[in-house]
Chains A and B, each alone.
Chain A
């Protein structure tokens, strides 16, 4: 019964909205530099202060989140006074291949966002619920696509009161696969090259010197003569002084007595105690 009046009111108001000053009539990214402002699956928007100017005590602000390619599909489906807007495209099947590629989720009551309490520090995270299963849950967005948002003002009996403009395209980065990270050898450091080369050279040099040393010691060993004995080996004792039989300082240590007598000449001493 009030539908026609509502539509007229809506069109008048939306005309007035667009000419209004200081009002941003579309969802926007939060201006703060949060590290997770745009991730592969979530987007942080400003909270919808000062978007809708109506005073509608029981109205709620809802968000349409979907691929930008589905903007026209949504506008076509919701332009007429469709009943059950909120269950048009449930989240669990929203992004299947043959689906509408958008979903609706609740932001809050219109009365929670009065214009005079506008704050840039407040944010609304689209996708905060992850892979959820409710019809209107705040599920995560598909990575790698361009997404667009729109605010809807919904009355308690699920009728559309007003809708904002579409936001600008927001490109979600594609989630990179960790197995594509190349963790092979990047480069060899200079220290490693220096240590390896100098140590290998040192080992080779040491081995070379070792073999040279062995050769030198072996060669000089062959050329060395036997220890020469200056004394004759045939004379057991040679005394130049007239010593009594008390001391024998000139006993020849190198004297070797015959085990076998090869001659019996008188010149050979028969008794070692005899003085020559």
Chain B
């Protein structure tokens, strides 16, 4: 290969590595956003033991930053035209590639277990809402906040509270559903306590909370897995070009 073509290939490798470094840094930032859990829905996945979306986010934090550092090293190795450095670069990138694949696949798979349909969220709500254990307190707090802020009640509808036996029903047998389901005035007082208790539809929230919970957890999942997937496709392309460059080096 001529010297001119080799230099051109070197610039391509440098440019792709620069882009991959930036993409890796963005993956690092997005994964931090998921791990911080701004919507505070972690207890719903944590109590059921299915919190792999957040585990995948933690892996993506490390791999994103590792991609950033290794791609900068790759730029240096390409400019130096050194076979040994390029080999080290390729091996490290391949290892990080494997870990990032694991993160993307884990997040996408675990989301299906958690919010494929409303059953798991509903069962967890009925079992833990109002319970006196640690998980019970977390779930109660989470659901109270969701029901009040998103203006919803129950998983699919308030009827979830009526149709099924629940811990809440055992503790408060005279209430059909929690008071968080009731509409409130701006002073946080209940708009109509008696009407809400019997289910007057203008005094309580009638839509279910599952849509909101599913949309938030899906947003986290797609942030980690689809964005991770796109970074991996870019890195795949970069590694193929880097391998070609490696073969052309003397």
Q: A198-B229, A202-B233, A217-B247 are in contact. Are A123 and B198 (CB under 8 A)?
A: yes
**With contacts defined as CB atoms under 8 Å apart, how many contacts are there between chain A and chain B in the complex?**
128
Residues of B with C-beta under 8 A to A128: 174
Whether B112 and A192, one on each chain, are in contact in the complex, defined by CB atoms closer than 8 angstroms, is yes
| Nearest A residue (CB) for B155 | A181
In the complex, A199 has a CB within 8 A of chain B: yes
Stretch at the interface among B2-10, B38-46, B140-148, B158-166: B158-166
Residues of A with C-beta under 8 A to B236: 202, 205-206
| Nearest A residue (CB) for B249 | A217
In the complex, B54 has a CB within 8 A of chain A: no
Whether A192 and B109, one on each chain, are in contact in the complex, defined by CB atoms closer than 8 angstroms, is yes
| Nearest A residue (CB) for B239 | A206
Whether A210 and B90, one on each chain, are in contact in the complex, defined by CB atoms closer than 8 angstroms, is yes
A42–B201 CA distance with the chains assembled, in angstroms? 18
Whether B164 and A183, one on each chain, are in contact in the complex, defined by CB atoms closer than 8 angstroms, is no
Q: A178-B126, A186-B112, A206-B236 are in contact. Are A35 and B119 (CB under 8 A)?
A: no
Number of B residues near A (Cβ < 8 Å) is: 50
Q: A40-B162, A199-B229 are in contact. Are A129 and B199 (CB under 8 A)?
A: no
Choice from A179, A183, A206, A217 contacting B94 with Cβ under 8 Å = A206
Whether B105 and A195, one on each chain, are in contact in the complex, defined by CB atoms closer than 8 angstroms, is yes
In the complex, A130 has a CB within 8 A of chain B: yes
A209–B127 CA distance with the chains assembled, in angstroms? 52
A125–B195 CA distance with the chains assembled, in angstroms? 12
In the complex, B123 has a CB within 8 A of chain A: yes
Whether B162 and A39, one on each chain, are in contact in the complex, defined by CB atoms closer than 8 angstroms, is yes
Whether A181 and B123, one on each chain, are in contact in the complex, defined by CB atoms closer than 8 angstroms, is yes
Taking beta carbons and an 8 Å cutoff, which residues of B are in contact with A? Answer: 90, 94, 97-98, 101, 104-105, 108-109, 111-113, 116-117, 119-120, 122-124, 126-127, 158-159, 162-166, 173-174, 176, 197-201, 204, 206, 222, 225-226, 229, 232-233, 236, 239-240, 243, 246-247
Q: Mark A196-220, 1 if CB is under 8 A from B, else 0.
A: 1011101101110110010011000
Q: A192-B111, A195-B108, A202-B233 are in contact. Are A36 and B176 (CB under 8 A)?
A: yes
Query: How distant is B208 from chain A, measured CB to nearest CB, in Å?
Result: 13
9 A–B contacts from the bound complex (CB under 8 Å): A42-B176, A178-B164, A181-B164, A187-B116, A188-B112, A195-B105, A202-B232, A203-B101, A207-B94
A140–B90 CA distance with the chains assembled, in angstroms? 72
A1–B233 CA distance with the chains assembled, in angstroms? 99
Whether A210 and B243, one on each chain, are in contact in the complex, defined by CB atoms closer than 8 angstroms, is yes
Residues of A with C-beta under 8 A to B233: 202
Q: What are the nearest 4 A-B pairs in CB distance?
A: A35-B199, A186-B116, A130-B173, A183-B120
Whether B243 and A213, one on each chain, are in contact in the complex, defined by CB atoms closer than 8 angstroms, is yes
In the complex, A175 has a CB within 8 A of chain B: yes
| Nearest A residue (CB) for B174 | A130
